[in-house]
Structures are given as structure tokens and as C-alpha cells.
Chain A
Amino acid sequence: MQLIDFDDMRFRGAIGEEVTVTVEAENTVHIVTFTLNGETRPLPEGEIIRFTLEGDTVLQMTFDFTDDDGGRYRVGLRVVQGEPDEECVYFVDGPPFAIRTFRIFVD
């Protein structure tokens, strides 16, 4: 994959390319769900989201927090060319409840 716009979380990939997404919680209970191809699932702590690009793909994730003093999630997308360790890293800080929508466009 290639990064199109970091802040807008847009990427470009190729049909058949595999994408992995890892999430690590800091100072919060791990409360994460994701919606891929319209299907919503929980993402338990330590599990990885893994999928193969078959067309334009939208990955929407929700994050919640349990400590009013602040918490953080580290979200890593691989494989992104040009990023350190080929991983594009986002930090999702909260509270409040957060939604992130990653869009991957295929050529």
C-alpha cells in the first residue's frame, strides 16, 4: 500500500494485497470494534485485523476509554511503503469515544 493522505487516513493498494491492522491499548481497557465490508465485529486485545484487498475498501473502527484521565490506542497498518518498518502508525487519544475510518483505494 501507499499512503495518500495521513490525516485523512487514505491509502492506495492493489487487488490481492494483504493488509494487517494491529491495535494496542495504553491506560484503558481494550474496547475496540471494527466494520469491514459492512460487517461489524469486536476486536479482542491482541488480535489482528487481516484482509485481502478485492476492491476499494473502507475499514471503520471504534475506540472507547475507561479512564477519565486519558487513554490511548496505537493503531498500526501494514504494509505501507515509505513508512518506518513499513507500518503506518496512528494514535487515537481519548476520552471521548472515537471513530476512525480508513479508506483504501485500489488501482
Chain B
Amino acid sequence: MKKRFLCILLAATILLAPVINAQAQQGSSNPEEQIKQYRNEIKALVARTPPAEAVDDHGRAVWKLRWELHTLLQQKIGALKKDIHDLRTSTSSTASADYVRRLEKILGEVETEAGGLNSDLTASPIVASLPRSPVAKPSPAPEPEAMETSEAINAVRAAASNFTPEALREAAAPPEIAESELPASECNDRGLPTSTNPSEYDRSICRLASNVSNARTRQEILFSRDEANLFSILIAKLLKTRGGESYAAFITEAQEARLDQQIGAAPTTDGATSIVSKGGIPYLFGFAVENGAAQRTEKDTTVTFRFNPAGVIKLFEKKGFITGFQETEDDAAMKFLRKTAIGLSFDTSRGDTAGVFTGNRQQLSAVSAQIEFLNERDPRHKRYEREWEEFVANEGVALGRRVWASTIETFNFAENKPGTFKDLALQAWLEQTNGLIGDLDRSIVGVERINRIAAIIRKQADLIPVNLVDDETVAAITSFAKQFQAYTEKKRSLLDRIAKGKVFSLDYLNKREVNAPDTSSFTFIGATGTSGRVDLTANGSFTFFHQRPAALTPAGPRPGRFRDFQFAGQLTAPLRIGETQVDFWFSGRYERLLEDATTFGGATVPDTKGDIAIGQFGFNIPIKSLGIKFPVSFTVANRTELVKEKEVRGNFGFTFNWDTLFSKLKPF
């Protein structure tokens, strides 16, 4: 009966320990009272002999209380040392000297007690009885300078290294909860995810892997360098199962794409699904394959390459993606080139192997160039300087304060050694993760190494022992997540306002016809934003022939140089449907054909000059994390260039950002 009562008492103590602890901390923030409480609880537990079936539970409870007490005593030692140091240097009276001596005596007593606890912790039967991990690797040997004894960290390491992988795995969330629903993104050599719309979680995994891979000596995860990424992983995995699911979703949700980038073919090329050109230039390469035709009656397939000359120049120099981008910062010519984009469109219905994209001269149907004169959508623009300063002074400082508080609550870092998680299970998880990273073949380098490390971290993140992590750590991570979410929302709000800035650019398009005369078009593009991230774009353009077309009949008049002029406008608005953001657009275009239109075969179609009015409604359906969008549009026109009959048509296609694939495949 007595044994049964002890069993129940121990079980209740273990189960309620976090609650009692939390309530004790809420009830009193006085560390002295907490120290007394832990001493009493340790005495109470040690005085009771556990029944055989609860020996391990008893040992764990005592060990946990000793560890908490040890942590508080270490803090007290630090505070006493600081006071003694400060008073010694700032006072000289006998009374102060007496007080300092008293503090020194207390310091000695506390150090003795902490030393005893440390011996108990490292020699604890519960620690000694746990089998050593067959997988976990010892941490790298500390450097000579860092060899001084650190009781707290030694104790944490001793305990953490005895958590078996099996024990941690059992404490992890079930795979259906822990594992991400979204496909894992690869990382490029700059530590960025290769997917177009990565989540904060994807970014953190890649950045962490890159940090570890690029370390000078310690290829391991370090609190001092990797804290933000560790916090993101903990938010994503720990809070998903420990009451903060909304914060986890916030971190794992893919980012939305910018509205102002033109990825598909320019509207006057055959096969384009949009009838309005947009401002904004993708950094290196935009690639799209679109089916359907918005303007002509012939069906065809157009492949468009749209790229940045500065990036390509650097590519040819084999300087690589990031290096090229950085070098353009200080070079006036390269700065100009950064503001330009060049596009090549290939008509796959042309050439000897029609229907197959060969990319040869025969299929080259259009060459385009775009120059940005004004882009107020760059967050670094001078006009936003004050807003950013206010943002940092308010939101940045609030987040910085929370970061510091969560750091103190989550990590031990007072000793001259790499910091450790205060939570033992997390520290064990970290050491196992670092062990697996340490096992990685040193001959694997570059982007492959980053991705191997990322794969290890991603797999380990699913195995975070969420059920063993103490409530204090969960509370610290939750507080950080809350502040980080508020900060990010304010930042997004500011970026959204910037995204409504003005853009003004000039497009040049050279259309290469098969038999008809080639044409050149100049299009002036202006864009601005309104509330709700609605994007307004206006175009004005004119087109001329490179050679005057032949007369329709030998005796007839020869058409002039100017072919047409056009005006167009588009309104784009993002709408959230469930978890997906769909971009809708409405657009209209007026075109005045100054000369009769010509067919692909070069024949001029009589009586086709005149006015053309086109209205279009469309939307883009995105696939998260893959950077793919399916544009669908419905077009109504009073006539086409070749046929003077009303036409209603539906178009669909798909687009994706080539930057993503380029980064993945880049061999340099």
C-alpha cells in the first residue's frame, strides 16, 4: 500500500512538476525563493525511497530539480562576482570592504553547493544508467583557450549525450504532424532556397546549412551564429505540436511573388496570354512557355527567354551568380545593365523540326529589350529612408529586446565555450545533429555539401523531441514567434506600400517574320500601385517596318513605314482564395492599324487597316514552392488584325521563373 502511494506521489510530482514550476515562477520572480523551493523539493524527494518500478522516474525528477537549482546557483554566482568586482573598484570605505567580504563568503558557499550539485548531476544513476548513444558523436574538442572548467556546460553535455536517438525519436511528433506538407526546396551556393516562393522555414534551413558549410573551423550548428535559424526551426516543429500552430504556419507558409515582374512573352509576340507589358525586370533569366494567341488567329507555341545582360556577362566570365550580382554594385556600366532586360522569343512552329524547340535562328521570332528609367519599388530608394529608420527604431528594437529575452531563457552562454540549450532534450538533439553533420564526407564541397547538410537538418528537424522540451523553452520560443510575426507583418506592410511605387520603362521589340517585313516596336510603360496591392499598368506604343512592304498590286500604292500605334491598360489584383494567392487582371487595348496586315507568308490582306479594340480578363493559378503559375485568360475583340469579325477566345499556359532552375544547375 505504501509503495503504491509512493508510486502515485512520484507520478504526480513528475506530471505536475512543470505546472508547479511555472506557477512558482509566476507567483514569485525572486530567485532566492525559487532556490529555496528547489532545495526543499530535492530534500523531499531524496528522503523518499522509490519503489523498484519507479526508480528511473524518481531519478529523473531529482535530476531535473538539481539541474534547475544548479542553473539558478550559477546565475547567483555570476551576480555575486559582478557585485564584488564592481564594489572593489568603486568603493574604499571599511563598511563597504566588510560587505564585500560578506559577499565573498556567500560566494564561496554557493560555489560549494553548486559544485556538489554538479557532482550529483554527472554521477546521477539516471545519467549513468542510460545507454550511450550509438550514433551521437562527441562534440569537437574545445580549443585550448576554452579548456577551463565549466560546470554548467559540462553537466548539460554529460546529460545530453546520454539521450539515445531512440529516446529522442520516441519524443518527436508523429511524422504526419512533424513532416512538412510542402516539397523540400533545394539550396543554391548562396544559401538561398531555389524555389521561387520559399517559406521562412526553407530559408532558415538553407541559411543554416550554408553557415555550417562555410564555417572557418567549426562545421557545426552554433547558438552564437545560428540562433535565428534554430528559432525558426523550433517555431515550425515545436510550436506545431505545443500550442502555437498558427506561428508554425506563419513560418512554413510560402512567400507570395511580386506582381510587377514580366515573366511571359511580351504582348505583341505571338502566343502571349497578356495584352499589356509590365514594368520590373527579373534579375537574371525569365523563361516561359505559353500556349495560345491573344492577337492573331494562327495557333502556335512561343518560348521566351528574358534575361539581364549584367548577369549574363558575369555568367560568361564564369564568375557565378552571387559574385556577378555583387560586382555590379560598384560599376556604373553594370548598374545600368542591371536595369535592363533582354528577351528572346522562339516560335517552335517554325524551322525544319516544327513542334520541337531547337532554339536556333529559324525559330527566333522576336528580340526584345527593356530599360528601367524609374523604379520606386526598390526598398533602398532614398524616399523610403525615413520610413525604414522609424521601422527599425520601433519594430526592430521591440524584436531585438524579445530576441535578447528569449536568448537568455533558451541558452546557456555565460561560459567561455559554445553555448548550449538550457533544455537537455534539445541539447541532445543538437549534439546528435552536429554529430551527423560531422560524419559528412569532407571531400563533398560547395553547393552539394550545403544540400547534404540541409538534408540532415531537415530530417533532424522532424525528429525534434517536442514531447521532452520543457515549458520554459516553449514559452520563450512562443514569445519570440509572437514578436517576430508582429515585426514581419509591419515589415510586409511597409514593403507593400513600396510595391505601389511608380515604375517607368521603355520596351523595344524586334519581330522577325518568316516572309513579311520585320518590324520594330517601342513601348513606353508606366505602372503604379493602389491600396490592396492593386497594380495599375499603362502602355503606349508604335510599330514600324524595317522595309516598306510591297504594294498589294503592281499598280497599287506601296504601304508606308509606320504600321500601327496602340494604347493599353491593365489592372492586376491579388486575391487570397484559401491558402492560395491568385492574381486577377483586367485589361484593355486600343490599336490603330495604319497599314493593311500581312500574313506569316508575307501576303498583304486587303482592307484590314482600321481600329481594333480588345478586352481581357485573366488570372494566374500558382503552385506553391515550385514557382509555377498557370495563366488563364478570356479575350473579347471587335476583330483581329487579319479578320474583321468579332472574336471571343480563351487562352491558357504556364510560366515559371528560370532563375530557380539556373541556380540549381549552375556548375560554377
- Footprint of B on A, CB under 8 Å? 4-10, 12, 26-35, 38, 40-44, 55-56, 58, 60, 62, 64, 66-70, 72, 93-103, 105
Contacts and interface: CB of A to CB of B under 8 A. Distances in A.
A72 to B, nearest CB: 8
Nearest to B414: A56
Contacts of A102: 224
10 contacts: A5-B143, A29-B380, A31-B391, A40-B404, A60-B403, A60-B404, A62-B399, A66-B379, A93-B207, A96-B228
Contact of A4 (B82, B322, B416): B416
A70 B192 contact: yes
Given A4-B143, A27-B326, A105-B416, A33 B397 contact: yes
Interface residues of B, number: 56
Interface stretch (B99-107, B215-223, B428-436, B557-565): B215-223
Contact of B399 (A33, A56, A96): A33
B15 interface: no
A67 B191 CA distance: 14
Chain A contact surface mostly: strand
Contacts of B227: 99, 101
Interface in B167-213: 190-192, 200, 203-204, 207, 210
B22 interface: no
Contacts of B392: 30-33, 42-44
A93 B325 contact: no
Contacts of B225: 7-9, 100
B255 A68 contact: yes
A27 B143 CA distance: 36
B388 A40 contact: no
Interface of B: 82, 85, 143, 145-146, 190-192, 200, 203-204, 207, 210, 215-218, 222-225, 227-229, 231-232, 255, 283, 322, 325-326, 329, 379-380, 384, 388-389, 391-393, 396-397, 399-401, 403-404, 407, 413-414, 416, 418-419, 484, 491, 495
Contact of A69 (B325, B329, B413): B325
Contact of A55 (B85, B325, B396, B404): B85
A42 B390 CA distance: 10
Given A42-B397, A93-B190, A62 B218 contact: no
Contacts of A55: 82, 85
Contact of A94 (B207, B216, B391, B393): B207
B124 to A, nearest CB: 28
Contacts of A66: 379-380, 495
B145 A101 contact: no
The 9 closest A-B pairs by CB, nearest first: A33-B400, A40-B400, A66-B379, A7-B218, A96-B203, A99-B228, A42-B392, A99-B227, A35-B404
A26 B146 CA distance: 34
B310 to A, nearest CB: 13
Contacts of A70: 190, 192, 322, 325
Given A55-B85, A62-B396, 13 more contacts: A8-B222, A8-B224, A8-B418, A9-B224, A10-B224, A31-B391, A33-B400, A60-B403, A60-B407, A70-B192, A70-B325, A102-B224, A103-B224
Contacts of A98: 207, 228
Contacts of A10: 146, 224, 416
B80 to A, nearest CB: 13
A30 B389 CA distance: 9
Pick the most buried of A7, A27, A43, A72: most chain B CB atoms within 10 A of its CB: A7
A32 B397 CA distance: 9
Nearest to A66: B379
Nearest to B322: A70
A38 B407 CA distance: 11
A60 B396 CA distance: 13
B400 A62 contact: yes
Contacts of B232: 96
A42 B85 contact: no
Contact of A93 (B210, B224, B389): B210
Contacts of B396: 31-33, 42, 62, 64
Given A35-B403, A42-B396, A26 B416 contact: no
A14 to B, nearest CB: 14
A8 B216 CA distance: 10
A90 to B, nearest CB: 9
A62 B85 contact: no
Chain A CB count within 10 A is highest, among B231, B393, B404, B414, for B404
Given A31-B391, A93-B207, A41 B325 contact: no
Contacts of A69: 192, 283, 325
Contacts of A72: 326
Contacts of A27: 325-326, 329
Nearest to A93: B191
B388 A29 contact: yes
A31 to B, nearest CB: 5
A102 to B, nearest CB: 7
